[in-house]
């Protein structure tokens, strides 16, 4: 299906497809097995200028919006969602700076991200605070012009390889969500320690670790926004980033569908390609329809967000829920279509099924997002 992209957007999409095919495809299975972080991919993205596709030109980016970001994420995820996450995870950490940072913060962090020289990470989740962001127990106390941060985070994408972390910490526990504040913590900050690297089911080329903060002293200038604005910053950031998860899910599903389609055209049973059987054709028809429906919703949502509306949390949640549920179903069906081949690690479909699952969980579990959608639509005037 042809979508009404501008010529620049078509060029961005083509560049991302080239990087995906040439840099990711030959390495996807190897990096999934070894759990290596794809530093080479960051270099490839930097060489094409895609590292800063969503960052303003004054900070070295291309000046695109949510549409341009998701075009890149989708193409990269068609070949490997884990590798794509090194790019998407950095974008997640850049949004708080883009939306709420000072000009000084933007110059320091966004210019380095746009150049491809810095990786970022977003540190919100804790052992007792996942969907309930207000339960964050990491604390930050102001002492002699510095904030002293103590606590721990877990399941942090790009953990251990990031050059900086956006950290949500409480500056006033008695105020709950209204006591959260966001901070920029550089990797060389004394007291910042990298914990266990997780051994994950999917997206294994992405580095996911614990973080520990032991009296980390950071200057007041590293605070994003005002004290107590952290919850708002987190929620606004996730509203902007959830379409990226949808793009990741769509890319995963498209890659699985392509592999399954190729297989049913070449696999012969009972003297004919299995793609000639009606049951197989119906399954493929449903898969293709579901992918295109999710893609159409994604691009429409991106255009809406790029028009700078006051609120779009409902739309961002909807596209993330719809696309991730779709990806889980399509990848499961792709494995079914390929039979025993689909279950073997020598083929990329089982990997895509494993990768798809996380899209239903991170950046807001789908059950929680349904709560958000339901509350928003029932309270709307």
For the annotated catalytic residues, the residue numbers are 363
> Which residue from 330, 162, 360, 166 is spatially nearest to 245, judged by alpha carbons?
360
Distance CA 265, CA 12 (A): 31
CA 139 vs CA 124, 129, 187, 217, 236: distances in Å? 12, 13, 18, 12, 21
Q: Which of 315, 320, 304 has the alpha carbon at shortest distance from 358?
A: 320
Phi, psi of 95 (to 5 degrees): -60, -45
Please provide residue 152's backbone torsions phi and psi, each rounded to the nearest 5 degrees: -150, 145
Burial 109-120 (b: 16+ CB within 10 A, else e): bbbbbbbbebbb
Strand pairing class (208-219; 192-197): antiparallel
Closest of 178, 184, 179 to residue 166, by C-alpha: 184
- Contact call for residues 345 and 351 (beta carbons, < 8 A): yes
Q: Find how far residue 270's CA is from the centre of its chain.
A: 43
Residue 224 · residue 185 · CB < 8 Å: no
The phi and psi torsions of 345 (rounded to 5 degrees) equal: -70, -10
**No. of helices (H) and no. of strands (E), the chain:** 12, 10
């Amino acid at each position: 299906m042809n979508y009404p992209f501008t010529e620049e957007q078509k060029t961005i999409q083509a560049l991302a497809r080239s990087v995906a095919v040439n840099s990711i495809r030959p390495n996807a299975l190897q990096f999934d097995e070894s759990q290596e972080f794809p530093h080479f991919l960051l270099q490839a993205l930097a060489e094409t200028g895609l590292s800063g596709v969503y960052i303003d030109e004054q900070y070295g980016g291309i000046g695109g919006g949510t549409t341009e970001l998701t075009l890149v994420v989708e193409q990269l995820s068609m070949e490997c969602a884990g590798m794509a996450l090194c790019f998407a995870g950095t974008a997640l950490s850049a949004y708080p700076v883009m939306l709420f940072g000072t000009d000084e913060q933007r110059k320091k962090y966004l210019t380095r991200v746009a150049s491809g020289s810095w990786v970022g990470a977003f540190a919100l989740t804790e052992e007792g605070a996942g969907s309930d962001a207000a339960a964050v127990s990491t604390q930050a106390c102001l002492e002699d012009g510095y904030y002293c941060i103590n606590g721990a985070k877990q399941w942090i994408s790009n953990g251990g390889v990031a050059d900086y972390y956006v950290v949500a910490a409480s500056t006033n526990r008695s105020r709950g969500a209204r006591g959260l504040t966001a901070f920029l913590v550089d990797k060389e900050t004394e007291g910042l320690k990298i914990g266990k690297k997780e051994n994950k089911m999917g997206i294994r080329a992405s580095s996911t670790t614990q973080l520990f903060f032991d009296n980390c002293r950071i200057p007041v200038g590293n605070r994003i926004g005002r004290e107590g604005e952290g919850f708002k910053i987190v929620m606004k950031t996730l509203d902007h980033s959830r379409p990226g998860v949808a793009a990741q899910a769509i890319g995963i599903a498209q890659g699985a569908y392509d592999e399954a389609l190729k297989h049913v055209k070449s696999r012969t049973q009972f003297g004919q390609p299995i793609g000639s059987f009606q049951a197989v054709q119906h399954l493929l028809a449903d898969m293709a329809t579901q992918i295109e429906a999710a893609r159409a919703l994604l691009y429409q949502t991106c255009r809406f967000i790029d028009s700078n509306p006051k609120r779009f949390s409902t739309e961002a949640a909807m596209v993330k829920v719809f696309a991730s549920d779709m990806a889980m179903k399509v990848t499961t069906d792709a494995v079914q279509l390929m039979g025993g081949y689909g279950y073997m690690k020598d083929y990329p479909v089982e990997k895509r099924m494993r990768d798809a699952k996380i899209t239903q969980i991170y950046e807001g579990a789908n059950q929680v997002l349904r709560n958000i959608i339901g509350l928003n639509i029932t309270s709307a005037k």
